[in-house]
Amino acid sequence: MEFKSTMHEQYAKSLLYRWYIFYERERTEQTLDNQLSILDHDFKVKRDGEVLNKEQYIHYENQRPLNQKNAHSVQKITFTQVEENKSSLVADIIYQNENKEGKVTSYKVHYDTILILKEDKWYFSEIKIGSIEMMNHMSEFKDTYAENRVKSLIHYYLSLMEKLDGDASPFQDIFYKDFYMKVPSTDDPITNIDQFESWLSISKNIKVSTHLVENLVIKSLHSNEYHVTMDFNWQALTKSDKMLKTKSHQEWEIVDTNETFPRLKKIIISGIKPLNELQR
């Protein structure tokens, strides 16, 4: 049994959800800066035969009306590593727009994207928006901001976990000030970055790992807080060439502080399936 790391896939998916959430809340200078940070210098967006470079895209976004609502319900994502520093992400979504008069229009939209890797970070170099099909039977607007915002965090968190270098410093940008974590392998909770790094150090024994997210449920508690439950199917190849597999249940509390990512306030991990060694 062979498998590849999903680290790059997790990072790319995080970028896709970040692309969508930019359109789902009021545009500000900060949110525009966040959006531009995921785009390569030579970025191009293509739609309806029109091609915009990065500067033209900035101009277009600064002219876009603010008194409308947008939602993007992602139906399917396919990631392909084309080259060492190049990948593609193909997505099918349901896009909804509600104008200032309250009229809702819904479409099926297909995205073809190209990403490039620079200094361990992925950037969109091209986004092609096509195959737009109106859906006349969907007249009720469904806000997808919370879902897409949380998914951007989940996939970014997993991309960090799959770096397998034991470095906890990048997690400081997504942990809340009063972070709390409970894992089955320790009796005491993890409440600071040093304790987290000690726990994370076990990843140094892993050569390759993958995470598959299942049974995801997101609940908005307040305007800026979310409660999330999900299951992680984890597989790994150790540096001693042992294949491992386990399944855990994750319960997260998230606080949105209007930064690049919302922040993790609490993680409770419980076992569903014990750690097993697989035959290769």
The amino acid at residue 225 is E
Q: For residue 222, what pLDDT is reported?
A: 82
d(CA 76, CA 83): 22
Burial of 199 (0-12, 13-18, 19+ CB in 10 A): middle
Tens digits of residue pLDDT in 128-179: 998 788 998 888 999 999 999 999 999 999 999 999 999 999 999 999 999 9
Measure the N-to-C terminal CA separation of the chain; round to a whole number of Å: 5
Q: For residue 7, what pLDDT is reported?
A: 96
Mean pLDDT, rounded, of the chain? 94
Tens digits of residue pLDDT in 94-118: 999 999 999 999 999 999 999 999 9
The two three-digit tokens of residue 241, written as one number: 């060439």
Q: For residue 280, what pLDDT is reported?
A: 62
Helix (H) or strand (E) holding 94: strand 86-98
Burial of 138 (0-12, 13-18, 19+ CB in 10 A): middle
The amino acid at residue 125 is S
The two three-digit tokens of residue 81, written as one number: 């590593």
Q: How confident is the model at residue 119 (pLDDT cuts 50, 70, 90)?
A: very high
Chain centroid offset of residue 77 CA: 12
In which region does residue 163 sit, left (phi positive, over 0), alpha (psi from -120 to 50) or beta (all else)? alpha
Tens digits of residue pLDDT in 177-213: 999 999 998 889 999 999 999 999 989 999 999 999 9
In which region does residue 247 sit, left (phi positive, over 0), alpha (psi from -120 to 50) or beta (all else)? beta
DSSP assigned state of 187: S
Q: How confident is the model at residue 2 (pLDDT cuts 50, 70, 90)?
A: low
Q: pTM of this prediction?
A: 0.95
The two three-digit tokens of residue 37, written as one number: 């940070």
Domains, the chain? 25-143 (3.10.450.50), 147-278 (3.10.450.50)
